[in-house]
Structure 1
C-alpha cells in the first residue's frame, strides 16, 4: 500500500472513531422529556393549590415538567419518580386524584402544607405501587387513615405525623401493617391508633422486622410492651411519648438494641425501677423519662467519654444520690430534674456541665441562693421552672422567668 493510500485510510478510521464517539456522547447527554400525561396530571394538581409563595411558578404548560420545582423524572422513561413539595406552603381543601396518575412515583412528600381538615381518599394510594418514601406529615388531614396505603408493599418510610385529626379504625392496626414488611421508618405521631389496644407491640414485631425508627407520640396505645418487641433490634429511635395508657415496667431488653440513639417514653404510665443498664448504653444520645411519677431512676456514675446529650428526669422519682453521677457528661446539652429531691444539691450536680444549653427544674421549693450559680452556665439559653416555688427577688441578675 502506497504511503498516500495508507494516510487516507488512517484519516478515514479517525473520522469513524470520532463520529462514533460523538453519537455515543449525544445519546448519553440527551435526557428523555417528560411524558405529556405526567405534565397534565401535575398541572391539574397545581390548579388545586393556593400557591402562597409562588413555589410552583416553574410549572408551566408547554415546558418540560422534569425541570419543574420539586419534580424528578427517570432519565430513561421520562416518567415522574419523585414529587417533593414538602414545606412549599401550599393550601388546598382536597387531595386532587390526578396525583394517583403518577404511577412511577418512588418518593412523594406533601409535608407541611395545609389541607384544612380535608379527608384523604380511602382508595387511590394503591395505584402507586413503586412508592418507597411517603411523607404527609403536618398536612392537617382529617378522618380515617387511607386503607390503600396498606397495599404499598415497597414502603420503607411512612410519615403521617402531626395530623391530630387522623385515626385508624378500619382496617385495624394489625391488618394495616401486615404487608409493610420492608418498612424502616414509621412516624404516626398524633394519629389515633387506640383501636390497636395492647397488641401494637406484637403487631410491629411480627410485621416490620427491619424497623429502625419508631415514632408513635400521642397515639392512644395501651398496655405493657410485649416481649416479642425485643425482636426489633435494628431500632435507632423509640418515641412513645404521651401515651398515658402505656403501663408496666420498662423492658430490660431495650439494652439489646445496640444502635438505639433516642429513647423517649415521657408522659407514659410506666412504673417500677428503670433499668440502669439502659442508661449506660454507649449508643444513646437522648433519654427522656420525664412526667413519669411512678418511675424510679437511679443514675450510675457515667464513665469518661459518655456521649449523652439529653437526660430528662423531670417528674420522675430519683432513688439514689446523684451528686457525682453527672460529672463525666461533658456532651450534655439538656438536663431535666425534679428539684424536690435535689434542690439543695443542684449546684454540685451541674457545676461541671459546661455544655448545658437547656435546664428544666420540676417542682419543689428553692432556697434563696439556689439559683445563684446559674450565671456560671455560660452556654445556657433556656431555663424552665415547672411548678417550682420561687419568688422573683430570688432570681440572679440577668435571669428572666
Structure 2
C-alpha cells in the first residue's frame, strides 16, 4: 500500500516537470529557427508553406521543414514551386545539418556565389540539392569547381535552367559520390567536361546547352552510367564506339546536334538499350542490320538524319518496342514486313522519306495509336488490316500515291485522318461518317467524285477541321431548309469544288474561325449568307472567285483577322468601310479591277496589320505614307498599279522597322530612291534575324489568342521571268522598285540591308556608279540593275556575294573589265549586254591597255595597310548560313530554282537556337507551292 502511494506521489508532482523538460529537448535548434525566419523575411511575400513559419513555435513542425527525430536538427528543406522572389540570404548556410535542399521552380529566387559556396562548405552532409529554375546568372561557370568539387556527400545535384553561362575553361569536374547530375538548359560554352573521381555516376543530363566539339573519350570511364542525354548542343564528329559499350547504359539521347558519320557497328551489338534517340544530326549510311540485337529496346528515334537505302527487315525480335521514328531521312524501298508485326508498338513515324510499294498485311499494331507514313511514294490500295486497327487515334497517309481502300474504315477510336494528295477515286467512303470520334478529316487534293450530302458530316459532332478542297469532280449537296450544326468546327476548307453558292446561314458553328472557299464560282456581291457572327472569324479566303462587291463584309467583320479577296472581279474604289476591321492583320485584294485615287488612310486603324497586297489593280494615288506608322507591318505589295510621285517622306522617327518585303514595282513613282526608308528597314539589316540552321517560318497571326498561319503569293520578276511564291517565308527578304521612274544615284546605305535575298531596281532612270557597299549584301541571291543609266566600273566587291546566282546589269553605261572569280565565273553574256564599254569574260571583247581591271578588294586592303589612302573594303565573304542557295541559271534550264526546291521540297534544316523543333506544314497545296507564270 505504501509503495502504491509513493508511486502516485511521484506521478502527480514530478512527472509534469519531466514532461516539460523533455519537450524542450524536442524543439528545433534556435540558430536554425532564426536562419529559417531570416530566409522567410528575404521573400517579398508569404507562401502557403512559409505562412506557417511563426516565431516562438517549433520549426520542425513548419511546412516544408523536416528534422532529425533525435537531434532535432533541420535535415530537409523543401520550398519547391512556391513562387519565391528574392535573394537567398547568407544565413541559409547555418542549416549545416541539411541532407536535402529543394528550392526548384522559384523563378525569382536569386543566388550569390558567396552564399552558395558557404552553404556547400557548411552543409557537409548534403546529399541532394535541387535548384532548378532559380537564378544563378551571377555565378561564373568556372567557379563550379570551387563550389562543388570535392563535395564528398552530394549524390544528386540538379541545376537545370538556372542561367549558368560562360565558357568552361576548367574542364575537370570532381564529385566523389555523385550519382545523378542534371544541368540541362545552361548557356555553357566550350567542350564537354571530363569527370574525375566520379565512379558512381548513373545519370548525366547536359541537354539544351551550348557545348561543342566531340563527345569526350573519357565518358567511356563512366561505367555505372545508365542514362545519358546530350540533346540540343553543337556536338560534332562521330559517335565514339567506346561510349556505346558502357555496360549499364540503357537510355541514350544525342538528338539535335551535329554528329556525323555512320552508326558504329558496336551500336547494335548489345541488347541492353531501352531508349535511343539520335535524331536531328548528320548521321548517314545504311540502317545497320544488327539493329535486331536490340531486343530490349523500347524507344528508337533516328529521325532527321541522312540514312539511306532500305529499312532492314530486322524488327522480328524487337518485341518490346513502343516507339519508332525514322522521319526525314532518305530511306527507299518497301517497308519491311517485320515492322508490321510489332504487338507493343504505340507510335510509328516513317514520314518524309522515299518509301514505295504497297503496305503489307498488318498482323501486329494492336496497341498502335499513331501512324504516320506521309510524304513517301507508297501506292496501291490501303489494306483492310490497317483500316481496322483497334487503338489507332492518328492516321496520316497524305502525300503518297494510294488509289483506294480495300474495305470500309472501321477505326472507331480514330480522331485524326489525313488522306490528302493521293490518287483516291470514286465516292467518299460512307464508313467515314460512322467514325464519331473524328476531330480532323483531310481528303483534299484527290480525285474523289460523286455527290455528297453535306448533312452527313454533321453526324461527326467532334469535328474540328474538315478539308475537301481540290477534288474537282466532287459535288456537295446542300439541302434547302437544313441546318448543318457543328458544335466544335473551327476550320472548313472547300476550295476548288466548283461551288456557285454555299448556304452559310444554315451552318451553325459558333467556333468557326477559318473558312476557305477560294477557287470556286461565287459571284456578284459578297453573299448574304455571311453570318452576323462572322467577326469571330480568324481568316476568310474568298480568292479566285467572281465577286464584284464586298459591301456585306464590313458590317459583320469587326474581329476578322485575315481576308483574301485576290483574283476576283472587284471594281470601283477600295471602300473605307473595310477599315472597320480593326483586328485585321492580313489583307490581299490583288488582281482585281480596283480603281480610284486614294488608298483609305483609315486603314491605319488596323494597328495589327502585317500584310497588305493591292498588287495588279488600277489604283491611282501617292505613296500611302500612313503605313509607316504600323510597327509590326511586314509585307507591302503595290506592284502594277498607277501610283505616282516621290516616296521619300518619312513622317515618323523609325518607319517600317519590321518590313521584309517591299514591292512597289510597275508604277509611276519618281524622284530619288527612298533613302529615308532604306535607313530604317531594321528587319532587313539584322543578320541575327535569319538564324543559322533555322527552319523557314511563315508569318503568323494571333487571332483571339489562337495562332493561324496565313499565306500570300508574291511574284518575283527577274530577267523577264516571273516566279509566283504561294507562301512567304519570313526570311524571304526582297526589295523590288523596278519599272518606275526613279532617278539619281543608288544610295550607299543599301549595302547595310544584310538580310536581302533579292534586289530589283531595273527599268528606272538611275545614274552614277554601282555602290561598292553592295559587296556587303552577302545574303543576296539575285540582283537586277538592268535598263538604267548606271556608269563606271563593276565593283570587284560583288565577287564576294557567294550566293549570287542571278545577275543582270544589262543596258546601262558600264565600262571596264568585268570582275572575275567565284560567282562571276557562272554568269553568261546576257548579264552584261547593252554595255558597250565592258570587256573581258564572258564577253568576246577583250580588254586593251586603256581598260584596266578595277583593283581587287585584297589589293585595296593592302594599299590601305601600307598608307596609300584607299578605304578598307567591307568584306562580307563567308558570313555564314543563308536560307536557300539562290536562283540560278538552273531556273531557266530545269524550271525550279534550287533555293525554292530546298524551301518547299527538300529536307529542311531543323534546329533553331534554344532547340525549337518545327514540323513542316502539310498544306493541301504543298505540291503547288511553286508556280511559274
TM-score by length of 1: 0.68
Q: 1:11 is matched with which residue?
A: none
* 2:456 match: 61
1:222 and 2:620 aligned? yes
Aligned to 2:683: 283
C-alpha contact (below 8 Å) 1:364/1:388 kept by paired residues: yes
Mapping for residues 30-69 of structure 1, pairs under 5 Å: 53-54=447-448, 61=456, 64=460, 66=463, 69=466
Partner of 2:659: 260
Between the two proteins, the alignment pairs up a number of residues equal to: 333
Q: CA deviation at 1:231?
A: 3.0
Do residues 321 (structure 1) and 742 (structure 2) align? no
Pairing 1:72-91 to 2, within 5 Å after superposition: 78-85=487-494, 90-91=496-497
Q: 1:225 to 1:134 in 2, by over 3 A?
A: same
Q: State whether structure 2 residue 454 is matched by structure 1 residue 70.
A: no
Q: Distance in 2 between matches of 1:305 and 1:288?
A: 14
Cα contact 2:465–2:490 (8 A) shared by 1: no
- Equivalent residue number for residue 748 of structure 2: 300
Partner of 1:107: 514
Once the two structures are superposed, residues 70-126 of structure 1 have per-residue CA deviations (whole angstroms, 9 ceiling, x without a partner) of 28xxxxx7332211345xxx3415032257624431111234xx3257445432224
Counterparts of residues 138-217 of structure 1 (less than 5 Å):
139=544, 141-150=545-554, 151-161=556-566, 163-167=567-571, 173-175=575-577, 177-195=578-596, 197-198=597-598, 200-205=599-604, 207-217=605-615
1:126–1:148 CA contact under 8 A, matched in 2: no
Contact 2:491 2:513 (C-alpha < 8 Å) held by counterparts: yes
Alignment-derived partner of residue 6 in structure 1: none
Q: Residue 804 of structure 2 contacts residue 823 of structure 2 at CA under 8 Å; is this kept in 1?
A: no
Deviations 1:126-158 (A, max 9, x none): 445221111223x2x224233222121110111
Of the structure 1 ranges 326-335 and 244-253, higher mean CA displacement relative to structure 2 is found in: 244-253
Equivalent position SS for 2:769: coil
Q: What is the CA-CA distance between 1:310 and the residue it aligns to?
A: 1.5
Give SS of 2:780's match.
coil
CA distance in 1, matches of 2:453, 2:806: 43
Q: Over aligned residues, Cα RMSD in angstroms?
A: 4.3
Quote the residue 2:263 is aligned against.
none
Change (3 A) 1:386 1:94: farther
Distance 1:179 1:323 in 2: 44
Q: Distance in 1 between matches of 2:793 and 2:749?
A: 16
Identify the residue that residue 239 of structure 1 maps to in structure 2.
637
Rounded Cα–Cα distance in structure 1 between residues aligned with 2:798 and 2:843: 17
Report the CA distance shift for 1:209/1:305 in structure 2 as closer, same or farther (over 3 A): closer
Specify which structure has the higher proportion of helix. Answer: 1
TM-score by length of 2: 0.31
How far 1:190 sits from its partner (Å)?
1.5
Decide which moves more: 341-350 or 123-132.
Answer: 341-350
Q: Does the CA contact (< 8 Å) of 2:650 and 2:677 recur in 1?
A: yes
**CA spacing shift, 1:303–1:335, aligned 2, 3 Å:** closer
Task: Indicate whether 1:135 and 2:541 are aligned.
Answer: yes
Higher Rg of the two aligned structures: 2
1:68 positional shift? 7.0
- The aligned runs of 1:342-381 (5 Å cut-off) are 342=790, 345-346=793-794, 348=796, 350-361=798-809, 363-364=811-812, 376-377=823-824
Residue 271 of structure 1 aligns with which residue?
A: 670
> Unaligned 5+ residue runs, structure 1?
1-28, 34-38, 40-49, 72-76
CA gap of 1:267–1:157, structure 2 versus 1, over 3 A, is same
Alpha-carbon distance in 2 for matches of 1:249, 1:314: 17
Structure 2 alignment gaps of length 5 or more: 1-392, 394-411, 416-432, 434-443, 469-485, 685-732, 845-888, 894-933
Distance in structure 1 (CA, Å) of the matches to 2:629 and 2:666? 25
- Taking the aligned partners of 1:379 and 1:58, their CA distance within structure 2 comes to 58
Structure with greater proportional strand content: 2
- Structure-2 separation of matches of 1:303 and 1:326: 5
Distance 2:642 2:585 in 1: 26
